Each structure stands twice: as structure tokens, then as C-alpha cells.
Amino acid sequence: MKTSLHWAAIHGLPRAYLKTQARRGDPFARIMTDRRAQANPYLLADRIREQGRVVRTPYTWVTADHGVVRDVLRSTDFGVIVPAELDVPRPMRALIRATDPRLPNPIEPPAMLSLDPPAHTRYRKLVAQEFTPRAVRRLTDRIDEVTGELLAALGTRQRADLITDFAVELPAAIISEMLGIPRDVRRRMLAAGEAGAALLDTGISWRAYRRAQAALLDAREFLDEHLDLLRAEPGDNILSALVAGGQLTKRELMYTTALLAGAGFETTVNLIGNGVVALHEHPDQLDLLTAEPGLWPGAIEEILRYDSPVQWTARKALRDIEVGGRRISRGAVITLLLGGANRDPEIFTDPNTFDITRSNAREHVSFSSGVHACLGATLARTEGTIALRALHEQFPTLRIESAPPRRELVNLRGYAHIPALLGSRTRSMV
């Protein structure tokens, strides 16, 4: 009963309302709930942008304007969204608090994704040094090594699912090693991350919510065991350092670990998968990369811009404020369409064209901005560059065998499977 009430308060009621609004043609509601719209949510983002820089909907303010999105993300006048603090009737807030299952949900406090400074600053400082460009450069050889092992295994086959056999395995291996998570526990971590990813959406079904809660319950169990093990036998990894530092409670450690683990592979999986599909839908761009491998870093930025792995985020106004010419009241929520902002024609010329030589592709907001800018952005870029380049250099005749199905998610945009014919393999490893 407690679980169903929590779902009803956070997802069930918004789900019913958004579906009603979607049937009435509301483009924002359609982005959130209409599976058909997920084939190309950017068309609906264009419709929202045509209505103004900031648009009022019955559920939230919404924007696909690049300038507004960037400014709100960087502004101290906006804070993150916490379900128990939403501007909803007091009985609803009380219900959300009373039914909180207290599972290691990476999008609820004390996970730093759901905290504003100074609490957010405290958590981030504890782990930020492990994700700096310098720290990621030290990981490059290991990323190369894991990529080579995965491609060698694919080389024995004619067909592969480039998501489950490759895109998932690389970032999962790297973040697991960074967190000291043993190989025999990695599958449980992946299952928890996959099911828990649905919680980043608004108005998910009861079935998806139950699956996510079960996954987080399992995550709490194996994290409890894992943290005890690291306390007794510390290793050279992030979690061992956090445990030894003694600055976080066990609950805080669990939530921080869940966030780092999930963010450590979810974004990169979608980046690699979206990149494979984009390049194979635009063979001229892939040919250009084959001829000029030095273009790969720019190609990664264009992949991130063209089909963002994270489609939206939200903030609440901490005071009455004017944004994009509209007056937003204290406590009101504004939804920022990151993917839509990445197709803003005021910033990106011919935004619906995939162009790996685009000079300002890095101006995308796929990794957010401001104090909540993605901690693992450099790691994701590095993994994506190494993985996609090595894959196409090792299998130059690779082709997608059939239409790849999308994940049943709105916010985390990627593919569930990419069935591919690998073709001939080059002899030398990258």
C-alpha cells in the first residue's frame, strides 16, 4: 500500500493528467507520454519553441530555447526538484514524505543530483577529483584495453547486439573498477541501473515503478554488503577512499554510489548507441571519419548535440524572477528540454543536419551546465571516442541489420538493441 501511494503521488496523478493533455495535442505532454512522439521528439520541441522562449503549460513552464536553458542551469535563482518539496497541496507533500521507501534512488536526497549548494558542494568535492580531465587521462590505457577485449570477443562472431555486447559492457567495466565493484556483482548493478533509469521520467507506469523499486531494493542489499567489505578490506578505488574518510554516513554512501554507478554507464551507453546509428544513417560522415580520424572528438560532440543521451531536466524558481520575457513565481517548476535546446536554430545552423565538422557543436547542453554539470562528462567523451573509433576501424564493413528499437524511456534517449552484421575485421587491434 505504501509503495502504491508513493507511486500515485509522484507518478500516477501526473501520468493521468499528462495523458489527458497529450490527447488534446499539448506538445509537452506528448513528449512526456506519447511513444509515437519518441521517434522524433525534436519536432515537438520545435513547436514549443515557436510558441515562445518560455511557454506556460498547465503542468509546468517549459523551454527549448538554448539561451534560456543555459541561463537557468547556471542561475543561483533556481534549484533542483525534490518530490517532497514540490509546489503541490500540503497533504500531497505529506503523503510523499510519509511513503518514501528510502531506497538508494540516485534522483532523491541525499544523492547530490537532488541537492543544491552548500550540501551539493560538500558531496561533489569528495568525488570530483576522480573525474577531472587529468584523472580520466590516467584511465585511457584501461579504456583502450577493455575496448580491445570486447572487440576481440566480437571478432569471433558474424552478428552482435552492439548495445548489450559492447555499448553497455565498456562503461560498466570502467565505472565498476573505479568504484571497486567486483565482476560477480556487476550484473546486479547493471540490472538496478536499467530498471532505476525509469525513475528519471515523469508519470511512469505502476509496472515500471514496481520494477524500479525492486531493483533499488536489490541495490541496497548488495551495496550494504559491498561497503562493509571495503571497510574491512579497502582497495584503490573511490568508494574505499570515501569509506575511509568517514565523512559520509552509510546511507549517504549508498546514494552516492548509486548515482555514480548509474551515471557512470547510462549516458555513455546512449552516446555510443546513438553514435552508431547516426553514423550509419549518414555514411558520408562515417567516410569522412575514416579519411580523417582526427575528426573523432568533434564527431562525439555532434553526436551529443544531434541526439542527446539526456533529453530534459527541471528546476524550480527560488524567488519570483523573469526568464525569457516571462514572469515565473517562486516555487514554480520549469522543464528544460536539453535535446530541444541542442536543435535551436538561433545557435546551430541547420540544426537538424548531422555534421561532424560543425564548429560550435560543443555548445550543446547535453551534459547540463552550472553546478550540476555532469561530473563524468570527460569520462563519457573519452569512452565514446575510443569505443566508436575502435569499433569502426576494427569492423569497417559493419552494418545495422534491422531497425534498432528505442528504449522505453523518455528522458534517457537511446536504443535497447542494435542488431548488426559485423562483416570483415581488420587484423590489427587499435
- Condensed to tens digits (0 to 9), the pLDDT of residues 118-161 reads 999 999 999 999 999 999 999 999 999 999 999 999 999 999 99
Which grid coordinates belong to 323?
A: 526568464
Helix, strand or coil, per DSSP, at residue 190: helix
At residue 56, φ and ψ (nearest 5 deg) are: -90, 125
- CA separation for the pair 253, 273 (Å, rounded): 30
pTM above 0.75, yes or no: yes
Evaluate if residue 86 carries a pLDDT over 90.
Answer: no
At residue 215, φ and ψ (nearest 5 deg) are: -65, -40
Which grid coordinates belong to 390?
A: 575502435
* Amino acid occupying residue 231: R
Asked if residue 273 lies in contact with residue 415, where contact means CB atoms within 8 angstroms, the answer is yes
Asked if residue 49 lies in contact with residue 27, where contact means CB atoms within 8 angstroms, the answer is no
Weakest mean pLDDT among 25-39, 117-131, 398-412? 25-39
Q: Which pLDDT belongs to residue 183?
A: 87
Q: Which pLDDT belongs to residue 85?
A: 65
Fold of 2-421: Cytochrome p450 (1.10.630)
Asked if residue 114 lies in contact with residue 82, where contact means CB atoms within 8 angstroms, the answer is yes
| Sign of the CA dihedral with 288 first, then 290, 292, and 297 last | positive
The string of DSSP codes covering 282-300 is: -HHHHHHHHH-GGGHHHHH
Question: Domain ranges in the chain?
Answer: 2-421
